Amino acid sequence: MKAILHNMELCLSTMKEENNLQKLYHYFKNKNYILIFINQYNNLMTNMKSITLLEEAGNLNDGFTILRKYLETYFIMMSLIVHPDLVEKYIKHNEMLGLKACKKDLVKVKAFIKEKPDNYLEYGYLEKYIDQNQKTFKYSAKSAALVGNVLQFHRYYQMSNNFVHNNLTSVKIDQAKEKETLIHALQETSSLLNSKIESILRS
Note whether 82 and 147 are within 8 A (CB): yes
Reply yes or no on whether the pLDDT at 68 is more than 70. Answer: yes
Please tell me the predicted confidence (pLDDT) of residue 56: 87
Percentage of the chain modeled with pLDDT above 70: 91
- Least confident among 25-29, 69-73, 87-91, 169-173: 169-173
What would the mean pLDDT of 79-108 be, rounded to a whole number? 96
For residue 161, what pLDDT is reported? 59
DSSP letter for each residue of 147-178: HTT-TTHHHHHHHHHHHHHS-GGG----HHHH
d(CA 123, CA 118): 9
Q: Tally the residues of the chain.
A: 203
Confidence of residue 2 (pLDDT cuts 50, 70, 90): confident
pLDDT digits (tens, 9 = 90+) for 124-156: 999 999 987 776 788 998 899 999 988 887 777
Q: What is the pLDDT of residue 170?
A: 46
**pTM to 2 decimals?**
0.90
